[in-house]
Structure 1
Amino acid sequence: MTGPAEGTSSTRRRAHETGGTGGTHETDETLARAAVTALTGQLALAPKPGLPDPRDLGARVAGEDHCSLRWSAKALEPGLAAMAAAARRTGSATPELRAELGAIGRSTEHSVALAGGGHRGALWVLGLLVAAAALEPRATGRDLAATAKRIAAHSDRRAPRRPSRGSSVSATYGAAGARGEAKAGFPHMRRALGTLAAARTAGVPEPYARLDALLTVMSTLQDTELLYTAGPHGLRHVQAGARAVIEAGSTSTEAGRAALAAFDADLRTRAWSPRGSSGLLAGALFADSLPLRAVTHRAL
């Protein structure tokens, strides 16, 4: 972490490069759009075991849920742009930046709730990664995760004192949870990036590479949402199911796709949804899109 003088110099340098210190800059908005694109790319992926995907459009209740998630994902963009701007202005991973990101995140959660809800876990992951990308524009993968880790190491001094459901579950079962994942430098996101790279090198088509990355996360993640709904036995059941698909040859093989279909049917019957894995996949897809080569114009 930089000292006060170095941080001030970095802030001034970034202000010069991006055209000012107030409000958001086009680069901040580009990072935010890239993060939302990663999230909607995760949503479009199918079949995702136990998670909303485009197949649900044929089912009234689940279809509404999937449509709502796609719509509300776009409501994250202003908040993510504000997080990037905050990081750019601050210039280093300080406690002040962490507090500002928390405040922006809570405001964004409210906006997302008005737009249909969801994405709380993805907002945590993408918010830290967008801020990290604003601090270190050339960082990718492991380096981006390391910068996010430095931000997450600080406590949010303005956070509500009441414990969240995730923190309560983490305390009960000793699970790392979303905060622990960030403080460890997003190890599951890094594993997903490794799986993506290996699958692409092997010539695996992109949708299967992304599904394999999702299952890699799911096979070991201590998902607090699953612990809350299904307990430790349910979490182990889901982890074992994800490993079974990978061991069957992954999703690009006939045996792997058969195992995936059986796993998905099992989770849907049990109404178990490993949502923590989907947020980390979105983070991996965002990190995979970096560095952003050019600033694009705001979509109409």
Structure 2
Amino acid sequence: MFHSHTLKAAVVAAVVATPVAADVSLTGSGASFPFPLYTAWFKDMAGSTGVKVNYQSKGSGAGISDLINGVVDFAASDAAMSDEEIAQVKGGVILAPMTAGEIVIAYNLDGADELKLPRDVYADIFLTKIDKWNDPRIAAANPGVDLPDEDITVVVRSDSSGTTYNFSGHMAAISPEFAEKVGHGKQVEWPTASNLVQAPKNDGVTATIKQTPGAIGYIEYGYAKLTKTPAALLENKAGNFVAPGAEGGAAALAQADFDSHMRSFNYDPEGEQTYPITTFTWLLFYASGQDAEKVAALKEMVNYGLTTGQTMSDAMGYVPLPEVVVQKVRAEMDKIQ
């Protein structure tokens, strides 16, 4: 006969062994790139799991700083973390790619429903060397498009940004001049030019493009999709013009080669139909030092993102993770103490 006190002891033991994540509040900050998707995840997750997440979209650089300073439970970054940044976190860091997206070159140009930009052309636009929409080099790639004699306003990020990190990485890979003059990083040395303006976060750049006739700028595809802002077809390494979308993004992700911290950057991927500026975006966790209940909630959050969360990605302009990456993330999360 199974006595009630035996049953009670078994239940207590089970609870002690497996911390309950429900009704735990988590605080995170960082990348604006995945913010629309994470917002949808966290809202749905609060109802289905009881885990409440307060996530502030501050930019990747600010998120990494918050994690290093110990003021958040987790952070998010499209630039992952450098070895130097990781070394500043006592007890170590676990990096988990949670979704992926494409950086698009969005524009505001009446009458141009489709715009093709060759690699050398969009590099020179962001170097402010091409400053008119009817420039012969833009016109040559877009026969039949009525390009106006209008100034190009280049819109870039003003804050420390993972979107800038990945965009400048691609630009430096395709343009030696960009690499030399502007550089590659979360913040770079943009040209001092009257037609170049800066705005904070992905939503700030998107709003500036929308409000400025003749503007062009780089934003995450989800923001372009959400706000119905046109995005150019970009010439890839194979010489084909490719529109952003799940197919071209998945082709780029398939080439991922992760290091020991689950970092992978491919700034100029191969492939006929590969979209040329595709990146993972990471959640960043303390490897040790948090209480069991919080760790359980963080793992619950990641599990949600790897399952239900991935089914939301495509419709919102993000690229679902390949299954092989999902399994790698699960293995990384098991390392958190």
Taking structure 2 as the reference length, what is the TM-score of the superposition? 0.21
Higher helix share: 1
Structure of larger gyration radius: 2
* TM norm structure 1: 0.22
**Which has the larger share of strand?**
2
